[in-house]
Amino acid sequence: MPDYKAPLREIKFVMDEVLDMPGHYASIPAYAEVATPDMVDAIINEGAKFCENVLAPLNRVGDTEGCTRHEDGSVTTPTGFKEAYQQFVEGGWPSLAHEEEHGGQGLPESLGIVMSEMVGTANWSWGMYPGLSHGAMNTIDLHGTPEQKHMYLTKLVSGEWTGTMCLTESHCGSDLGILKTKAEPNADGSYAITGSKIFISAGEHDMSGNIVHIVLARLPGAPEGTKGISLFIVPKFLVNEDGSVGERNSLICGSIEHKMGIHGNATCVMNFDGAKGWLIGPENKGLNCMFTFMNTARIGTALQGSTAAEASFQGALAYAKDRLAMRSLTGPKAPEKAADPIIVHPDVRRMLLTQKAFAEGGRALVYLTAQQNDIVKKGEDEEARKAADELLGFLTPIAKAFLTETGLEAANLGMQVFGGHGFIAEWGMEQIVRDTRISTIYEGTTGIQALDLLGRKVLMTQGQSLKNFTKMVHKFCQAEEGNEALAGMVKQLADINKEWGDLTMKVGMTAMKNREEVGAASVDYLMYSGYAVLGYLWARMAKVAQDALDAGTTEEDYYKAKIATAKFYFARILPRTKSHAATMLAGADSLMDLAEEHFAF
């Protein structure tokens, strides 16, 4: 397995130098005194030790052992998982970015994202257990009654209990409007929840004292479709009035899914047989409330893409420096050895630099979304909060879909660097591919995110959400127009920024004549958008690096590497937008003309 080393210098570069997190925290009164530079550094450094020394060694254990379901429906997690979770709870990590009134530490969500990145890169399967709890906490905090918050939040925040989201069913997929799970009113004000939910990550396990399921179901007489869905809190164990765990609820893990990857996480079929649940939020507004959970999960899944790129890059880079094969085309670079290290070969460098560009660019994008989330949650300026909310809404589908697609690409490239050894389990590179493959599927597939971006976020706002972002890019390009060190990047970015708007207009015009054009163009539109957003962030990173070099620094090699990676991105990655532009304008006919009956084999 690759040895995970938390990229602390990279994390601090994005936080401190690109996004000015110290200034950001100081500007928000709720964070000014708690998220001081010393406190932030201490948390990140301690988190890195836990992830490197405790979680990373369990990554392959989880993959090879998997989870075990017993006759009574209970589940045992892989060796060491439960003990690691207890250390996690004892260290106070679950409560990091939650409200103090519920036992949290009141630190920023963006700092929690940094910890989540390190956890996820070290051991994604393990990280899903506490990771799902964040969405449950956010949902109860925003939509629950005071009584529900008192009963569930403190234990969830402390990590004593964990949470899940129970959305889809075997016949649904992403079309939740056709779900069948029922919620019948009980005399005591609770509801009897009956139905089966599938793909429930961390649905059953032995790591916490209770599991709080957030479940979508239909009330009697509810309207059909998504307008008739309500949301319920359904705990594994009922909770007594004093907050202690009571009798077992009428729900059980029917089976564990046999999966391509993330074997260390119990992905369950959960059967609810008249289980007691309590309504959260208004009747028939469950999907609206659940979006709180899903949006949390979507940023978390975006993070999976960048963590996969980081983990695979770390493994591939170490191997490329050590593995000897062939000689450089310009003459031996290690004449004292039998062959040169493969890092001297241009194609290996292409793969490594692609991984590096996606890992570092992806980190910047995820941290940017987390920064906006801080403002939405705790900012005191109403206009700033509104702008941050709109930017977050625009960036979320891009981050989720683009970073998972490119993260999977980076993971595959890591295997390729290893050659035949990449296909062998002991090296751990193929596990990264298998674990990452799900990221483009769950929490809404790439296609679903693309429709959300183009259909809802862009066209339904008459392009306003896009304009808000492209204005930011335009201002950056204007400010750096005379910067000779960045001249090529700035011109290329400005051209793409303008083309982005032009393409949106063309797609919108064709969609007015044929709505199928939205679906036909959407994935290419999203990928184009992702490359453009990362182009903007790489240009910003290059400017920061150049400014540091101009000012004089003891880290010349570090900043020069950052500029070299930015130049690689603009020369070899950003031009991919050209093919996406052509394809999104190709029209729906080439997709829809073939009659269904002619899809023969």
pLDDT digits (tens, 9 = 90+) for 483-498: 999 999 999 999 999 9
- Percent of the chain residues topping a pLDDT of 70: 100
* pLDDT of 231 over the 70 cut: yes
Find out whether 122 and 51 touch, Cβ atoms under 8 Å: yes
Q: Please state, in angstroms and rounded to a whole number, the distance separating the CA atoms of residues 274 and 555.
A: 63
pLDDT digits (tens, 9 = 90+) for 188-214: 999 999 999 999 999 999 999 999 999
pLDDT score recorded for residue 494: 98
- Could you give the angle at the alpha carbon of 296 between the alpha carbons of 442 and 301, nearest 5°? 40
pLDDT digits (tens, 9 = 90+) for 99-110: 999 999 999 999
What is the pTM assigned to this prediction? Answer: 0.97
Q: Please state, in angstroms and rounded to a whole number, the distance separating the CA atoms of residues 361 and 363.
A: 5
Tell me the residue type at 293. Answer: F
Q: Please state, in angstroms and rounded to a whole number, the distance separating the CA atoms of residues 379 and 383.
A: 10
Strands 230-235 and 237-239: what pairing?
A: unpaired
Q: Please state, in angstroms and rounded to a whole number, the distance separating the CA atoms of residues 554 and 373.
A: 34
Q: Residue range 224-231: average pLDDT?
A: 94
pLDDT score recorded for residue 44: 98
Q: Which long-range contacts (CB under 8 A, 24 or more apart) does 423-432 make?
A: 425/64, 426/1, 427/1, 427/2, 427/315, 427/319, 428/1, 428/2, 428/59, 428/60, 428/315, 429/2, 429/312, 429/315, 429/316, 431/1, 431/59, 431/60, 431/63, 431/261, 432/308, 432/311, 432/312, 432/315
Q: Please state, in angstroms and rounded to a whole number, the distance separating the CA atoms of residues 247 and 264.
A: 28
pLDDT digits (tens, 9 = 90+) for 58-99: 999 999 999 999 999 999 999 999 999 999 999 999 999 999
Q: Is 107 helix (H, G, I), strand (E, B) or coil?
A: coil
The residue annotated as part of the active site, out of 204, 310, 360, 443, is 443
What string of DSSP letters covers 505-532? HHHHHHHHH-THHHHHHHHHHHHHHHHH
Q: Residue range 130-156: average pLDDT?
A: 93
* pLDDT of 585 over the 90 cut: yes
**Cβ neighbours of residue 420 under 8 Å, at least 6 residues apart?**
none
Region of residue 163 (left: phi > 0; alpha: psi -120 to 50; beta: else): beta
Higher pLDDT pick, 292 / 583: 583
pLDDT score recorded for residue 287: 87
Q: Residue range 39-64: average pLDDT?
A: 98
pLDDT score recorded for residue 290: 79
Find out whether 442 and 435 touch, Cβ atoms under 8 Å: no
Residue 443 known to be catalytic? yes
Where along the chain do its domains lie?
A: 462-590
pLDDT score recorded for residue 293: 63
* pLDDT of 297 over the 90 cut: no
* pLDDT of 500 over the 80 cut: yes
Confidence of residue 175 (pLDDT cuts 50, 70, 90): confident
CA 126 distance to own-chain centroid: 15
